[in-house]
Amino acid sequence: MRLLVPLTLCLGLWAGLSASPIPGGEEDPPFGNRQPAAAIKASIKIQPRISQAKNLILFLGDGFGIPSITATRILKGQEQGKLGPETPLALDAFPYLALSKVSVLERARKAGKAVGIVTTTRVQHASPSGTYAHVVNRNWYADASMPADALQQGCKDIAWQLVHNVDINVILGGGRKYMTPAGTPDPEYPTYNTENGMRKDGNNLINMWLEARPGARYVWNRTEMLAAVADPSVNYLMGLFEPADMKYNLERNTMLDPSLTEMMEAAIAILSRNPNGFYLFVEGGRIDHGHHDSAAHKALTEAVEFDRAIERAGALTDEAQTLTVITADHSHVFSFGGYTLRGSSIFGLAPSKATDKKNYTS
């Protein structure tokens, strides 16, 4: 009893300083033990599924490491008017956790399954290209990006390999300019020369992909994508929605550019038409780019959209037949200072100041 009174007083003081009130139940000292104990008890009861999954979906949040995951929980909760840290992500409900690497798209296609890639970066970017390309330099997006000696030796750029290496059913993301001949005007930005096609070999890889797959569909905006999904005859879909990377979710034109969740929904709709099942790679690729620019708002709102796509995929698939894996390829130099009050904005300041008399950030 001697510890209960000062602890309650401290929590009361904390509640007064925080942006939102602390739930009353948290003032009970055993509170911090009950939830973890219940989670451990529930995990012990989990029985592994021994049947073979028909489908496989891999979600990859680029740069979405442990600190970013925690910050995303806070942002998701605060967007709902909560304190934040207590808010679970869709990925938190998954029964198993590991740090690992997976590369299975080619194996899935050889097994007769439909395969697809969805990303908010260019489809030739490092993570998506890791599913289909074999290249010594991640920046060889088009032949114009390659050195002369590599071309002379017969090396192929990533965009070429996207079309020729594996028979991919669904390709959704950015990266139009790497697919068309130099000088080809972009359909969305025809007056911007920097967004023109850039291939030196004169090949239109979009047309080559379509010609090799009768009934395949190419789209460059959200309306066309939704129309393709509504057509039951479409088993192949390529959607390239920007010349390079797609716009951040905060900045995208919602009439022209689909969200990650919308692209994922379209991919599942088409891939599900294969009775043998499917493999789908889904990347929240611009979490990473926001972190590279030290733009936490962009990075974390991308992460919230990534979580939204995970949740929606769960609703669209049968857990008994679909193995869903969530991972990240790396993290970022992104951490918590330890001085910010609970309930404060994840983008805000802590009350404590450093030696330069400036506040620590969340």
Q: Is the dihedral of CA 325, 123, 245, 130 positive or negative?
A: positive
Lookup result for tokens 């479409």: 234
Predicted confidence at residue 97, as pLDDT, reads 78
In the sheet that holds 322-327, the strands lie side by side as 217-219, 237-240, 170-174, 114-122, 278-284, 55-61, 322-327
Six token digits for residue 35: 């939830």
Q: Picking from 236-240, 278-282, 349-353, which range would have the lowest pLDDT averaged per residue?
A: 349-353
Look over the chain and give the mean of its residue pLDDT values, rounded to a whole number.
90
Question: Does 28 have pLDDT greater than 60?
Answer: yes
pLDDT in tens, 64-92: 988 899 999 999 999 999 998 889 999 98
pLDDT in tens, 237-278: 999 999 999 999 999 999 999 999 999 999 999 999 999 999
Question: Does 8 have pLDDT greater than 50?
Answer: no
Which residues does residue 61 pair with via DSSP β-bridges, in sequence order? 284
Closest CA to 235 of 179, 281, 275: 275
Predicted confidence at residue 99, as pLDDT, reads 64
Predicted confidence at residue 236, as pLDDT, reads 98
Give the integer Cα–Cα distance in Å for 52 and 198.
44
pLDDT in tens, 90-144: 998 888 877 655 868 999 999 999 999 999 999 999 999 999 999 999 999 999 9
Predicted confidence at residue 100, as pLDDT, reads 56
Give the integer Cα–Cα distance in Å for 251 and 229.
25
